Amino acid sequence: MVHPVARHVAVVGGGPAGLMAAEVLATAGMAVTVFERMPSVGRKFLLAGRGGLNLTHTEPQDEFLARYGPARSVLAPSIEGFGPDELRAWCAGLGQEPFVGSSGRVFPAAFRATPLLRAWLRRLDELGVEIQVRHTWKAWGDEPGALLFTSADGSPVTVEADAAVLALGGASWPRVGSDGAWVGPVTAAGIGVAPLRAANVGFRVGWTSTFRDRFAGTPIKNVRLTFAGASVRGDAVITATGVEGGAVYGLAAPLRDALEREAPVTLMVDLRPDLSVDDLADRFLRRRAKESRATLLRRAGLAPVGVGLLREVTANDLPAEPRALASLVKDMPLPLIAPQPLERAISTAGGIQFGEFDEHFMVRRRPGTFVAGEMLDWEAPTGGYLLQATFSTAVAAANGVLAWLAHETT
């Protein structure tokens, strides 16, 4: 139901940030229209849910906030205002009682995003939120509050609103909507944008065709990856052109930054993190008569892909000496050539610089325009931190709109 003195708020971008801002605004009685360039909203949200929608994480707040690195101080107030507990309650309120999976990650009951989005869109409809799809935001108009769009048939549409929330996302997976084209009009308006770069991304490796043909698509379970003094333990996956997966994404930011300075960079892989070099060397010393090195390595717990990797990085010249072989298993150098392109990344680093908006997420040069979600200049690892900050900044921006409109009318 729309409030008798409802003001009109345009929310641009129908991803989780835009839809959450719309919910907060409509709940407070505003007349809200969401403009989305695709034929339907929430496409990346649905894609994110395909392998399990990891909404947030249960770790203690201090560790949680540390995941945002240099963006922590700017994001912390919004995450303290609408944090993991509030997000879980919101999810439960939509009929999707969340559950805590492995290592503290939080998922909706259905694991995927589809039932959650369906219930959410029903709620937004009941709140009177209007959704205009196939509307692409192009620029600001000359009049204050005017937003210029093109509609499905390419014709221009001007929208006058009392306030606007831009929630246009990053530039990964452009086929589901966010293509980063907003950077043009935003920078043209004099608003600083840090270059959009791939985050949580895989890396290219110059595999031989023999290795690629045999192992592309194969997971490497339980490895420890180390780069520049930081280590991540988990799983990775061999792809036709390189490596990807959770453990790789955990080091993606420093690897990407190093590759911008020089290439290749060397990622160190521990293929048996539960055994010491001494344990492994002992096992290798007890080699059976006529036992091949591959069998010996398999007996030490290496999967065929691990043995294949060792052969690949030594050009099939595995060390004969037990301790040297053990050291290689524990410290296997893997040269990475380049990050995979931004289109293949899970998320986007870079975006609207923090100095460009105030503590309510209002753009300083554009009073009445608020910004939220992945289009802001922050990055975080996978584990629920991306969606949490997306939702938290959206709630903060929507509350910022309400405070600003209340102030404007007094």
Ligand X SMILES: Cc1cc2nc3c(=O)[nH]c(=O)nc-3n(C[C@H](O)[C@H](O)[C@H](O)COP(=O)(O)OP(=O)(O)OC[C@H]3O[C@@H](n4cnc5c(N)ncnc54)[C@H](O)[C@@H]3O)c2cc1C
Binding residues vs ligand X (CB under 6 A): 12-18, 35-38, 43-45, 47-48, 53-54, 136-137, 167-169, 172-173, 177-178, 181-182, 346-347, 373-374, 384, 386-387, 390
Residue 345: name the closest of 197, 225, 129, 227 by CA: 197
Residue whose token pair is 């249960």 = 58
Look up residue 367 and give its two tokens. 């009073």
Decide whether 68 or 173 has the Cβ nearer to ligand X: 173
Decide whether 233 or 344 has the Cβ nearer to ligand X: 344
State the nearest-atom distance from the C-beta of 354 to ligand X, in Å.
Answer: 16
State the nearest-atom distance from the C-beta of 375 to ligand X, in Å.
Answer: 6
State the nearest-atom distance from the C-beta of 270 to ligand X, in Å.
Answer: 26
Residue 31: name the closest of 4, 70, 64 by CA: 4
State the nearest-atom distance from the C-beta of 162 to ligand X, in Å.
Answer: 19
In angstroms, the CA 189 to CA 257 distance is 28
Q: What backbone torsions phi and psi does residue 103 show, to the nearest 5 degrees? A: 50, 35
Decide whether 6 or 53 has the Cβ nearer to ligand X: 53
State the nearest-atom distance from the C-beta of 178 to ligand X, in Å.
Answer: 3
Decide whether 29 or 174 has the Cβ nearer to ligand X: 174
Using Cβ positions, the residue closest to ligand X within the complex turns out to be 15
In angstroms, the CA 391 to CA 23 distance is 11
Decide whether 13 or 308 has the Cβ nearer to ligand X: 13
Distance of CA 211 to the CA centre of its chain: 30
Decide whether 300 or 345 has the Cβ nearer to ligand X: 345
DSSP 114-151: HHHHHHHHHHHHHTT-EEE-S-EEEEE-SSTTEEEEE-
Q: Which amino acid is at 408?
A: E
Q: Alpha helix locations (H) across 60-127?
A: 61-66, 72-81, 84-93, 114-126
* Terminal alpha carbon distance of the chain: 23
Whole-angstrom CA distances from 383 to 247, 264, 343 are 11, 28, 20
In angstroms, the CA 293 to CA 310 distance is 11
Contact 297, 306 (CB under 8 A): yes
Contact 284, 300 (CB under 8 A): yes
Decide whether 123 or 293 has the Cβ nearer to ligand X: 123
Decide whether 100 or 320 has the Cβ nearer to ligand X: 100
Decide whether 56 or 241 has the Cβ nearer to ligand X: 56
Residue 264: name the closest of 202, 330, 334, 327 by CA: 334
State the nearest-atom distance from the C-beta of 136 to ligand X, in Å.
Answer: 4
In angstroms, the CA 198 to CA 180 distance is 12
State the nearest-atom distance from the C-beta of 53 to ligand X, in Å.
Answer: 5
In angstroms, the CA 340 to CA 166 distance is 28
State the nearest-atom distance from the C-beta of 192 to ligand X, in Å.
Answer: 19
Look up residue 45 and give its two tokens. 């949200």
State the nearest-atom distance from the C-beta of 17 to ligand X, in Å.
Answer: 3
Contact 337, 205 (CB under 8 A): yes
Decide whether 44 or 204 has the Cβ nearer to ligand X: 44
Whether a cis peptide bond, with omega within 30° of 0, leads into 156 is: no
Decide whether 15 or 242 has the Cβ nearer to ligand X: 15
State the nearest-atom distance from the C-beta of 36 to ligand X, in Å.
Answer: 5
Strands (E) across 151-192 are located at 156-160, 163-166
State the nearest-atom distance from the C-beta of 43 to ligand X, in Å.
Answer: 6
